[in-house]
Structure formats: structure tokens, C-alpha cells
Structure 1
Amino acid sequence: MTSLDVRETPGPPGITTGFAVLLAVACGIAVADIYYAQPLLEEIGRDLGIGPAGLGFVTTVTQVGYFLGLLLIVPLGDLLNRRILIPAGSVIAAVALVAVAVSPGPVTFFVASGVVGLATVVQQVIIAYSAVVSDPRSRGRILGIVTSGVVIGILLARTVSGLLSDAFGWRSVYVVSALLMLGVALVLGLRLPPELPDRPRVSYRRLITSVFTLTAHERVFRVRSLITLFMFAGFGALWGSMALPLSAAPWHLSTSAVGLFGLVGAAGAIGAARAGALADRGRAQWVTGITLALFAVSWLPIAWLPHSLVPLLAGIVVIDFAGQAVHVTNQHLIVGIDPNSSSRLIGSNMAYYSVGFGGGAVSATTVYSTWGWGAVCVLGAGFSVVALLVWAVDRISAARTATDEVLNGVS
């Protein structure tokens, strides 16, 4: 263990900013694995003989694997030693990525893609680990840094895959990503501090049913997960369908050019990293309300895409800034329920993310094919407003409860 990673001082444990950045990079590398295919669908289809009707399964299979991983693997972080679980998951992901790269046909490709999705949930185990070893007084700031790696990885995956594919073919994307995952396994296997002792023992059955029990019994989890669901549905509506109008008239942008828009979104996500620090100072609700409002308003400039790209760029910066700020705040409050159960809390919350993002992307592409980009923006704004309403109703309910308690105390 080095002084760079964990502060051996009296009081709560903690990790340094430098080590949090390392964990953020590892998270970004891992989560990108499930998004590389999105700009490569046509090329993969031509090479493997997958028809237009089957191309949708390329993304779907990976996302299904990811969803199952959130429910079945991430909660294991509360049961097993994360110093073993994280490198092992990274190696399995690397092997699956190699299998994708050498796939001779659709069956091998789909099976390997499902395993990629299943194994790359290791980045959520990393986030849960960072929450556990963080000083409670700076947990929000650390989570802000680490989770920014996830958002940036999602956004830059399309840029990287487009550039590599244009230069060396789509298979090269998965070879490079496999090498990166092996690097993650090696570095974190050597650098992760020892597991914290005396963790409560919980049955695996109880772990994998946490998403249901937490939703039923924990108000903070329930509210924040509903916000996650609808906010990421809006996020999925944008990033799951934006390539369609950009590659059509009047823009006719290439795969690489469309991927570069991820760089703009990444800039917005980086800017939101301080949201966690505000949450540490007790301003989580204030941050949530303002940024959810920004998230909804950002659809106005995004709607200008058919006419001008400048408002679109501004809207992308705002929506990614707001989305990351809300996401960090959500996880800060959810982990606060019980930091020792961070894996099941984060895994269960991210199950809502997976459903929201996937559902938003699918519904947006369907709406676009029928009614065009304007309807997609109405849909995305609608998801955003629902997320804001969930927060507002919860705040009103909390205020009424507090008032009733005061009145009952006086009486």
C-alpha cells in the first residue's frame, strides 16, 4: 500500500484525488466496451452477414448482458474481495472482447457480445469500492471524479471506435479494447488497497433481490432511482438517435464525424464533477433541482439540429453537464443509506439506468422514423420533465412530513 492511494491517518478512511482519477480512467475504459459497436453496425453487418433486421440485436445483446451483470455480479462486491473481483472481471471482459474481434459469424459475435456486457459491469464494482474507502466528508467529491470516468467513457467510445474502424477496420476496435482491459486488470490488481475488514456477511440470494427490497423499503433509493430512470431515458433518447439526422441531409456526416460529438459531451460531463463536492456540503437537493431544470431546457437548442449545429453543440454541453451532476448527486445520496452495502445499492440503482437508457434509445429511434427529430426532442424533454416532477413531488412530501412532525411536537 502506498501513501498515494490511501491515507493512513486517524479517523475515517479515504483515497486521494490522484487515485480517484486512476479509478475514473479504469471505469471509462471498461464501460466503453459496451458502446463501441453503436457507430459500427453497418460495417459489422456487412462483414458477418447480419441483415438490417438483425443489426438491432448487436446493441441489445450487449445491453442485456450488462443489465444481468448489474443484478448478478455487481452485488457480489458486498460479499467477495473486490481486489480479486475487479481484476478477474477485467480479464474475463478482455477474453470476451478478443472473441468478438475474431468472430467468424453472427452466433459467436452475439454470444461474445453478451459476455462483454456481463463482465464490464466491473466498473460499477470499482465505483462501489471508491464509495466504501472514501472519507465520508469527501465521498461526494470522490464519486464525482470516479463516475465522470463512466460518462466520459460512454461518450468517447463512439469517437474512438469510429476513428479506429475507419483506419483499421471494426475488428481492431475490439483488439485495442481487450488490451486496455488487460491493462486495467494489471494496474488495479497491483494498486488496489487491501479490502476493508469486518464486512457484514449477506446471502447471495438477498444480494441479487436487493433492487426489489430497496425499491419497496428505502424512500431515498426509490426516489433517486426513478429520477435515474427518466433522466437517462432522456439521455438515451439523445445519444441513441442523434446519429440518424446527422448522417442524413443536409449534414451527411461520416461515422468518425458523428463520433466527435462525444468530445463535446465529455467536456460537459467533466464540468459537472464538482457536483459531488456540493453534495458533501449538504446541497444535494439544490443541485438536483437546478440541474434537472437545465436538463429539460437543453432540449430547446438540441431541437435546432436540422437547421444549425451550433445550438446543438450548446445543448449537448448543457445536457451532459446536468446529467452527470444529477447522477453524482443520486449516487452520493444512495450510498449514504449504508456505505457498507455500496455494491448492491449502486448495482440496483444502475439497473434503473440500464432500463432507462435502453428504453429511451429504442423509443427515440422509433419516434424518429415516424415523426422526425422534432418529435424525438419532445419525447426527450418529456422524460426530463417527469424526472423533475419526481424530485419536486418528493420535496413537497418531505416538507409536509417535516411540518407535521413539528406540529405534533408542539401539540
Structure 2
Amino acid sequence: MDKELLEEQTPEVAEVRRGEIATVDRRLVLIMSTACAISVANLYYIQPLLANMGHEFAVSANEMGFIATLSQIGYACGLLFIIPLGDKYNQRTLIVGMLCAVTLALIGMASASSIVMVGVASFLVGVTTVVPQLIIPYSAHLAPPKARGQVVGTVMSGLLIGILLARTVSGIVANYLGWRSMYWIAAAMMILLAVAMRLLLPSDRAKKDTMSYPQLLRSLWDLVRDEPVLRETMLFGALAFAAFSVFWVSLSFFLETPPYHFGSEVAGLFGLVGVTGALAASFVGKFADRRDPRLANGMGLVIILVAFVLMWLTGQWLFGLVVGTILLDLGTQSNQISSQARVYSLQPAARNRLNTVYMFIYFVGGSIGSILGTFGWSIARWNGVCAVACLLILLALGFYALNSRNMRRHLMGSR
């Protein structure tokens, strides 16, 4: 990289490029982690609110599950059509623009007068809540290879904490102020975050990608075709997040039934329980940097399976449900961090597009999990929920075992 190019970049980026520090500035990592937490929460406020919203609009649990699914489908569309632009354009500008867009979608959600309008707004909230998926590959871009897993893990900690605390906050706000108030508050926070990101986030002006937008989109298939590691992590991520969504989309319905009879605020408080797993992210990232990240994938999947077996057997007791929730979030986070560490090591110039492909399939899995969760609940209540989730993880572990030899061959060939 020439001197002029370094001077065009921010001090943090230039310093990393010269190799003068071991990792990204900690303050910058904290800023990115916080932004991920606050912005990703928009996608998850809805989950503890499903029962309340269903009562207001007089619709069934299955119909409300479809509303939650629309936000996941919207998010997948945002990943597919917006995130690839991060390999071509200034990511700070994209981030601020998307924060303004999601503000409008949240206002639409708060003011919706019918279940149809809620569905449309839910989809648009999903489409525009892609800021974390611009920030995460940018953090990988800033980090040196030997610390990439740790940096991505720290930023991902913010993301998962945001996901979990979103449920807690929305459950409490809905209990005292009503579910619409949560979306008005979220819209105000997005305005503040847009201002903060414009002032605090470094600009990445040094991009020289000449691909057109259609070429960027066409190149996504080339990445899937050429990278077996990407294909494997896509499957692991989709199935793990599907199981994760099965649990969270059905939890508020489960807690309304005997022996619990809890409201939305308790369903939201379960997000606090999962923070334990989120805090392990940086340690998982260090493990992925120093050991085999694929092994961390397998360990994460096993932990998720154990979590659902435990909740299946002991879910009627609060202690069993709490321990299972901690294990579920720990396993999901372990799988996610190790998968992204593997993906971001493939092609540095295509990190946003690699992230697009991986996260698109990841959230398609989440959308399917939301549908399967409400379906399992409608068929066999909690037994159906746990059975569906266990089947998903067993499929992932089966592929892990069958594909191990191919991955060893690929690793040896790449050397």
C-alpha cells in the first residue's frame, strides 16, 4: 500500500495497515460493538411482544409467528441487496443512511393500525436493520489476521447482547407502556445513533472496487461455488440460528401457560439470562485464533443440542429453563464466532460479500426456525418446540461428521 493511500485513511486504519499495533484501537472496537448492540435490537423487540400484539389485533399464535418471520425475511433481503455495497462504497455513509431508513420503518411499526400494516412495517424494519452486518466485516478489515477472531468476537458480543437485551427491554416497556411505545423509543435511539456514527466511526475512503452493482450481486454465487468453507459454515449457521429462533419465537407462548402464567416482561427478562453466553464471545474468538475454528463450530453445535435436551426434560421448572437458555446462547455464539472467523479469512477484498452470503442463509434459517417454532408449538406445545430444535441440530452435527474428511483435504490443499 502506498503512502498516499495510507494518508487517505483514518489514523486507526493506517496504523493497522503499517502493522504497528497488534489489534484495532480498543475504543474503536467498543464503539462498533455498542453500535451493533443498539441497531440489531430493532429486529428482536418483537419477540416478547407477539402475545400482546396478537391480543390487540385478535390473531392467532401462528399468524403472529408469520409476522416475526417477515422481519427475518426482510433482514435476509437487506443482507442480499444492501451489504454487498460495502465492498464498493464508503461504509460509514452506508451505515448512517441505513440508520435513517430504519428510523422511518420503526415509526411505521409504532403507528400501524392493522395487522397487515404491522406485517409490512415488520418486513421493512428487517430490510433496514443491516447496520451490524456492515460494521462486523469492517471490524475484520481493520484487525490484523492474528487478532481477527478476537476483534470479531468482541464486536459480536455487542451484537448478541443487543439481541438478548432487546427482548428484556421490550418486554418491560410493553408491560408498562404498551408495545407501540417500544418502537417510538427505538426510532428516537436510531436518530441519536446516526449522529454518533457520523461523528465517531472512521471513514474507509480507500476502496477502488470498480465492480458494478449487478456484478457485485453476480459474484455472490461465485463465492459460494468456489469456497467449500463458506458452504459448510452457511449450513452450520442456518441450522443453529433456526434452532435459536425456534426457542425465542415460542418462549412467550410457553411462559403464558401452566405452571408459569408469566407475561411479556418475564419473557423479556430471559434475555438477561443469555448475556452470560454473549460475554463468552471474545474467548471463543481467541480460541478460533489459536486453535481450530472448525472444532469450535462442532463444540457450539453440541452445546445447543444439550441445551434443548435439558429444556425438554426440565423445562417445566424455571431452573431448567434458565440453565438451558444460558447454554443455548453460549452454543449459538460459539458457532457464530468460529464460523465468521473462518469466513473472513477467505478473501479480504470480498469480506462484505462473504458476509452477505453467510448471513443471508443464516437469517433464512432464522426465518424457517420462526415458522417451525410456532408450528411445533401449535402441534405439541413445548414437546413440539424442543423436538423440532433437536432435529435441526442433529442435522448440523450429522453434516459436520460426514464433511470432516473433505474439510481436512481442503485444508491440506490450501497449504
Name the TM-score, length of structure 1 as normaliser.
Answer: 0.90
One of 327, 335, 354 as aligned partner of 2:344? 335
Output the amino acid matched with 2:312. Answer: A
For the residues of structure 1 that align with 2:288 and 2:171, how far apart are their CA atoms?
36
For the residues of structure 2 that align with 1:340 and 1:282, how far apart are their CA atoms?
24
Deviation, 1:54, is 4.6
One of 131, 156, 171 as aligned partner of 1:162? 171
Output the amino acid matched with 1:81. Answer: N
For the residues of structure 1 that align with 2:80 and 2:212, how far apart are their CA atoms?
14
Output the amino acid matched with 2:339. Answer: N
CA contact (8 A) 2:88 2:207 kept: no
Q: Secondary structure at the match of 1:111?
A: helix
2:267 is the alignment partner of 1:292 = no
Deviation, 1:183, is 1.9
2:395 is the alignment partner of 1:382 = no
CA contact (8 A) 1:226 1:387 kept: yes
Q: Tell me: CA distance 1:298–1:279, structure 2 relative to 1, closer, same or farther (3 Å).
A: same
One of 29, 37, 48 as aligned partner of 1:39? 48
Q: Tell me: CA distance 1:270–1:33, structure 2 relative to 1, closer, same or farther (3 Å).
A: same
For the residues of structure 2 that align with 1:95 and 1:186, how far apart are their CA atoms?
15
One of 75, 80, 90 as aligned partner of 1:81? 90
Tell which deviates more after alignment, 303-312 or 225-234.
303-312
For the residues of structure 1 that align with 2:357 and 2:259, how far apart are their CA atoms?
42
Matched with 2:5 is none
For the residues of structure 1 that align with 2:276 and 2:169, how far apart are their CA atoms?
16
Q: Secondary structure at the match of 2:262?
A: coil
2:35 is the alignment partner of 1:21 = no
For the residues of structure 2 that align with 1:120 and 1:168, how far apart are their CA atoms?
24
2:238 is the alignment partner of 1:235 = no
For the residues of structure 2 that align with 1:9 and 1:400, how far apart are their CA atoms?
34
Q: Tell me: CA distance 1:198–1:42, structure 2 relative to 1, closer, same or farther (3 Å).
A: closer
CA contact (8 A) 1:34 1:117 kept: yes
Q: Map 1:243-262 to 2 at 5 A.
A: 243-262=252-271
Deviations 1:26-62 (A, max 9, x none): 1121111122122223433455676767534432332
Matched with 1:91 is 100
Deviations 1:208-260 (A, max 9, x none): 24443322221010011111111112111211222222210111111101111
CA contact (8 A) 2:133 2:355 kept: yes
Deviation, 1:396, is 1.9
CA contact (8 A) 1:250 1:306 kept: no
Q: Tell me: CA distance 1:234–1:54, structure 2 relative to 1, closer, same or farther (3 Å).
A: closer
2:372 is the alignment partner of 1:363 = yes
Q: Tell me: CA distance 1:340–1:375, structure 2 relative to 1, closer, same or farther (3 Å).
A: same
CA contact (8 A) 2:22 2:147 kept: no
For the residues of structure 2 that align with 1:273 and 1:249, how far apart are their CA atoms?
38
2:161 is the alignment partner of 1:152 = yes
One of 289, 294, 298 as aligned partner of 1:280? 289
Instruction: Mark the runs of 5 or more structure 2 residues left unpaired by the alignment.
Output: 1-9
For the residues of structure 2 that align with 1:101 and 1:405, how far apart are their CA atoms?
51
Q: Tell me: CA distance 1:384–1:6, structure 2 relative to 1, closer, same or farther (3 Å).
A: farther
For the residues of structure 1 that align with 2:295 and 2:67, how far apart are their CA atoms?
40
Matched with 2:320 is 311
CA contact (8 A) 2:51 2:252 kept: no
Deviations 1:111-166 (A, max 9, x none): 33322111111211111211111122211111001112222222222211111111
For the residues of structure 1 that align with 2:178 and 2:249, how far apart are their CA atoms?
22
Structure 1 stretches of 4+ with a deviation exceeding 4 A read 1-14, 45-54, 400-406
Q: How many correspondences in the alignment? A: 406
Which of the pair is proportionally richer in helix?
Answer: 2
Deviation, 1:8, is 7.8
Deviation, 1:9, is 5.1
Tell which deviates more after alignment, 15-24 or 248-257.
15-24
Instruction: Mark the runs of 5 or more structure 1 residues left unpaired by the alignment.
Output: 407-411
CA contact (8 A) 1:165 1:173 kept: yes
Matched with 1:373 is 382
For the residues of structure 1 that align with 2:124 and 2:255, how far apart are their CA atoms?
31
CA contact (8 A) 1:35 1:154 kept: yes
Q: Tell me: CA distance 1:88–1:369, structure 2 relative to 1, closer, same or farther (3 Å).
A: same
Deviation, 1:16, is 2.0
Output the amino acid matched with 1:348. Answer: V
Output the amino acid matched with 2:286. Answer: A
Matched with 2:150 is 141
For the residues of structure 2 that align with 1:47 and 1:118, how far apart are their CA atoms?
25
2:224 is the alignment partner of 1:215 = yes
Q: Tell me: CA distance 1:105–1:376, structure 2 relative to 1, closer, same or farther (3 Å).
A: closer
Output the amino acid matched with 2:252. Answer: A
Tell which deviates more after alignment, 300-309 or 125-134.
300-309
One of 349, 360, 369 as aligned partner of 1:351? 360
Deviations 1:172-203 (A, max 9, x none): 10111111111221111111112151443222
For the residues of structure 2 that align with 1:131 and 1:354, how far apart are their CA atoms?
20
Output the amino acid matched with 1:161. Answer: S
Deviation, 1:279, is 1.5
One of 200, 203, 217 as aligned partner of 2:212? 203
CA contact (8 A) 2:16 2:23 kept: yes
Deviation, 1:402, is 7.2
CA contact (8 A) 1:158 1:262 kept: yes
Matched with 1:172 is 181
Output the amino acid matched with 2:162. Answer: G
